[in-house]
Amino acid sequence: GLGFNIVGGTDQQYISNDSSIYVSRIKKDGAAYLDGRLQEGDKILSVNGRALKDLRHKDAVELFRNAGYDVSLKIQRRLQPQNGPVGHRGDGESGGLPLATILVPGLALVAAAIWIVLRYRQRM
């Protein structure tokens, strides 16, 4: 796998009234851990250009399982670690920056790094 777990989806909302997909855990020594850029709590907006909006949890999992070796993720980074669900502030508002500001530049590098790690692991 890619070395991380996800939560969320239309049928298993992690945050009330938000069906987005979030990184719940980075597996130690997995591809995402070794790359170092993906963080727990990151919202995953798309996989290989396919938006994760309005998907059931199991359908999102299938997208990741079938992503192949060259994987490109578009993510939205959380502002800061918080207690409770990511983005919950207690006042009914979720925090965030404008989407254009928080899209991580260089996702092609992430995909290339994951591809290299997966290829390396395949040869072992």
Torsions phi, psi for 112 (to 5 deg): -65, -40
pLDDT at 102 over 60: no
Q: Are 73 and 50 in contact (CB under 8 A)?
A: no
**Whole-number Å distance between alpha carbons of 39 and 86:** 12
Question: 3-state class of 54 per DSSP?
Answer: coil
Render pLDDT for 34-68 as a digit per residue (tens, 0 to 9): 999 999 999 999 999 999 999 999 999 999 999 98
Range 49-52 contact pairs with CB under 8 angstroms and sequence separation of 24 or more: 52/20, 52/21
Torsion of CA 18, 41, 75, 3, to 10 degrees: -120
pLDDT at 21 over 70: yes
Please compute the mean of the pLDDT values over residues 79-84 and round it to a whole number. Answer: 59
pTM exceeds cut of 0.75: no
**Whole-number Å distance between alpha carbons of 53 and 31:** 24
**Whole-number Å distance between alpha carbons of 94 and 4:** 24
What's the CATH superfamily of 4-76?
Answer: PDZ domain (2.30.42.10)
Q: Calculate Rg over the CA atoms of the chain.
A: 14
Extents of the domains making up the chain: 4-76
